Amino acid sequence: MRKLLLSLLLVGSLSGCGYNSLQAGDEQIKASWSEVLNQYQRRADLVPNLVNTVKGYASHEQTVLQQVTAARARVGSLQVTPELAANPQALAQFQGAQAQLGSALSRLMVVSENYPQLKADAGFRDLQAQLEGTENRITVARNRYIQAVQEYNVTVRSFPSNLTAMMFGHTVKPNFTVDNEKALATPPRVDFSASAAQ
């Protein structure tokens, strides 16, 4: 009788320890991270087709095309493992490479504005629409990942689950960050003077 009462008490105390919440949160982070990688891969896969399409129309824009190709190569050279999301330095390096690719693609889209025949090309328009859709998917996937990390980190830091987290070695996970937070707080400069128009 005493053993039964003790085991019931032990089972009752374990129900609030947060172990299952930690496991569920960790799995949600892994799934969310996989979706982020999936969408970044989709974008990287579009780049060669986009570059080749633009090359046909804008052969003298080699600098921009080389920047896009180099940025894609940097993204492709990163070793993407499940542990990357748990390593703040590796995550920052991954974010930096993805930001460079995004920036290079933006410059490529600006260059395409100078070529009406390119803008009229059905293949280019299709690739551009796919790229825009992929950028939206990346934003959604990153948002889901950010939410999953937030929920997990709250569980890791909340009592009594923080005791279980410490016991089993669960720590707060890093999240996506903004490259330059101060730049976001700086309002853009707008100058409509005559000298700015020249």
Q: Where are the domains of the chain?
A: 20-175
- Its sign, for the CA torsion 61, 63, 64, 65, is positive
Segment 37-44 mean pLDDT? 88
pLDDT tens for each residue of 111-150: 777 777 777 777 888 888 888 898 999 999 999 999 999 9
Helix runs in the chain, H state only:
2-14, 19-57, 62-77, 88-112, 116-120, 122-157, 161-168, 181-185, 194-197
What is the pLDDT averaged over residues 8-28?
74
Average pLDDT rounded to a whole number, residues 155-168: 89
**CATH number for domain 20-175, candidates 1.20.140.160, 3.40.50.970, 1.20.1440.20, 3.40.190.10:** 1.20.1440.20
Cα torsion 155, 157, 163, 168 to 10°: value is: 70
- End-to-end CA, the chain: 92
